Structure 1
Amino acid sequence: MSNDTTDLEVHFEQDMCLEESQDFEGDRDCDLSPDLLRMVKQEEKQILPHEEEIENIALEEGKVVKIVMRIAKKTKQDLVELLREFKDVFAWSYQDMSGLNTDIVVHRLLTREECKPVQQKLRRMRPDVMLKIKEEVKKQFDAGFLQVSGLPTLFPIPKKDGKVRMCVDYRDLNKASPMDNFPLPHIDTLVDNTAGYSLFSFIDGFLGYYQIKMHPEDIEKTIFITLWGTFCYKVMSFGLKNAGATYQRAMVTLFHDMMHKEIDVYEHIEVLKKLFLRLRKFQLKLNSAKCTFGARSGKLLGFVVSERGIEVDLNMVKAIQELLPPCTQKERAFDKVKQYLSNALVLSLPNPDRPLILYLTVFNNSMGYVLGQHDESG
């Protein structure tokens, strides 16, 4: 491995001279699959506090985390002390990630025997994009995520900060892989269990997929080609089928005894400490840029959750508000729907001491119903 590293370093140091004005014939946007586009969009999302001021707290030089400004002085002091005590559970670079133990989880790429490998050609790219890819490949190689391989195409996905996200075109590989049907959590359950508390901390893993290693037998299946050679992933790459199921399986393995209990019950500092101890034990790293601590409310999966309950995220209905109304007799009904969806209604949590009432609306060809409670407090 040391020889490969030396050769690669020399190859990278011999930089290619690429003029900005140079372009390739037939350069065009990548024909990304809808599934990959959805994964990219979802991966870029983060859970944010709702309309609250944030301040940066330095854990040490160059390493900061975000907390909400308007929290009780004692709570803030305890929270800052806790974050500094557990600063090692955060990652600020690839080198900060050691990866989850393979005894806990590895990603398998089982393929159907009748499916044969497919070799794809080197994709043409603009010179500026090629240089960004070269930089990212070198960073991932230095971090131990990649190894030199002895056939899929690389897709560069622009990021908001001007960098690129490396996405390999694994469509042929994914077609050959059976579906992993490990259950994912229901959105309504997550939202219901989160709402109703006075203090929230929103956390996110640092490049979570890269913290899970590939099974040694499946590493070669992740090969991709660049101008500087062919490489394969030693960690679970973005864009692989069943990667989400593998990640969810890992989270259940690590936190099964805390789910829907401590993780959702915010006796805040004590619970965060227990969570951080678990993260430290299994070396799962958090992304400080996407974590916020001590919030009173937050945006979660299209809703705003708070102690009051569950509200509509108005940004999610903005597109509906801006739709042009139809020029038909249904215009009035359409406007009513827009107005209803735009109102920031609050869904309160049910009170187990009060009776539930089933409301029905029945027509000849359809029926609607809602289960609710009377709330005298408004």
Structure 2
Amino acid sequence: MEEFADVFPEKLPDGLPPDRGDAMKIETDPTADPPFRPVIRLSIAELDELRKQLDQLLAAGFIKPSTSPYGAPVLFVRKKDGTLRMCVDYRGLNKITRKNRHPLPRIDELLDRFRGARYYSKLDLLSGYHQQRIFEPHTHKTAFRCRYGHFEFNVVPFGLTNAPASFSNMMLRVLDPVLDKWVVMYLDDLLIYSKTKKEHLQHLRSVLALLRKNGLYAKLSKCSFMQDETEFLGHTITKDGIKTSAGLSKAISDWPTPKSTKDVQQFLGLAQFYQQYVSGFAGIALPLSSLLRQQHSLQMDRRTTICIPSAQTRHLLRPRPPHLRPRSPHLCRNRCIRFRHRCSAAAD
């Protein structure tokens, strides 16, 4: 990696990202008033972290003082490692923003690309959104309010409704010469795949050269190189096939019995992530989907109870055979049929 050490800095360089002609615009309803909300009360620890992060963002040129009529509040969420992430609540702005319908890649189509590959390298961009500019005439719409003042972003912050679409469009143009040839991309996650080691080194160099050319940077601690097995978008990718991620599978199998329609929605949303592994998923999940029509407390019969969660997930989360198309008709068919019979018998 010494050849491309400049692509893996400890932190993003100070100053604005290069002007690639891809600055994110924020088109809003011209009849709507600029949204603003009161400052949210923060703890002493959160205020200390807020001042620290504001100083870093100001020094880097990622934010600037603002006099905008817009004003979203700041809050904090705790990350897995225990540190605090500063977030801006842009719900008011998002409500009046014209939606960018640029599509995100279908994960099942990305997985299809790995047939025949034996070596994988994964790249994770460093603070991905901050590597794209906000269209200068629209920076005032990103304004946020806090104990220490009123600021607006010069780069794309987290929380904007069109940020994923805008960032994905930028990455499509950056990677266009090699996209779907030996690299796939989902937002700031890139996976390079090859059949031989020699080929893989060439492919890796070509992708890193494109990142360098476009002034994009990756986080070395989250990257992996020349692997025969890797995690990508909730799946474990190997030369022998693709299987579900152990972490997500465990989350589904350990899911407690739902007590509200919101609980059911959350469980179904997670289970549907793996629906490409199962023929007839909608039929299997029907007892659960029917619960969403209930307005008050859940009324679960034996048919729905048996589907939540262990019996259902035990039949849903099976390893996918070596690089078959996700909706191949014979995938898991027998298991699904047996499971439907089991649910019907329980209902009777």
Instruction: Give the TM-score normalised by the residue count of structure 1.
Output: 0.66
Kindly indicate whether residue 227 of structure 2 is the aligned counterpart of residue 309 of structure 1: no
Task: Choose 287-296 or 128-137, whichever is displaced more.
Answer: 287-296
1:180 pairs with 2:100: yes
- Whether 1:90 and 2:12 are equivalent positions in the alignment is no
**1:1-378 residue pairs with structure 2 within 5 A?**
83-94=1-12, 96=13, 99-150=16-67, 151-194=71-114, 196-263=116-183, 264-266=192-194, 267-322=199-254, 328=302, 337-341=312-316, 343=318, 345-350=319-324
Question: 1:126-169: CA deviations, max 9, x gaps?
Answer: 11110101100100110110111131101112223333212111
- AA in 2 matched with 1:293: F
8 Å CA contact 2:114, 2:323 repeated in 1: no
Cα RMSD for the two superposed structures? 2.9
The residue type paired with residue 88 of structure 1 is D
Cα offset, 1:332, TM superposition: 7.6
**Counterpart of 1:279 in 2: which secondary structure?**
helix
Structure 2: distance between partners of 1:127 and 1:329: 50
The AA in structure 1 aligned to 2:212 is R
Residue pair 2:15, 2:62 contacting (<8 A) in 1 also: no
Q: Which secondary structure state, in structure 1, belongs to the residue aligned with residue 145 of structure 2?
A: strand
Q: How many residue pairs end up in the alignment?
A: 276
Pick closer, same or farther for the CA change 1:350–1:194 going to 2, 3 Å. Answer: closer
Q: 1:97 to 1:288 in 2, by over 3 A?
A: farther
Change (3 A) 1:139 1:195: farther
Please say which of residues 199-208 and 288-297 is displaced more in the overlay. Answer: 288-297
Larger RCO (CA under 8 A, 6+ residues apart):
1
Which protein shows a greater Rg?
1
Cα distance in 2 for partners of 1:311, 1:328 equals: 30
Q: Report if aligned partners of 2:74, 2:88 keep a CA contact under 8 Å in 1.
A: yes
Structure 1 gap segments, 5+ residues each: 1-82, 367-378
1:283 Cα offset (Å): 0.6
| Identical-residue share of aligned pairs (%) | 26
TM-score for the superposition, normalised by structure 2: 0.71
Distance in 2 (CA, whole Å) between partners of 1:357 and 1:206 is 40
- Distance in 1, matches of 2:79 and 2:116, equals 35
| Structure 2 unaligned regions, length at least 5 | 184-191, 258-299, 341-348
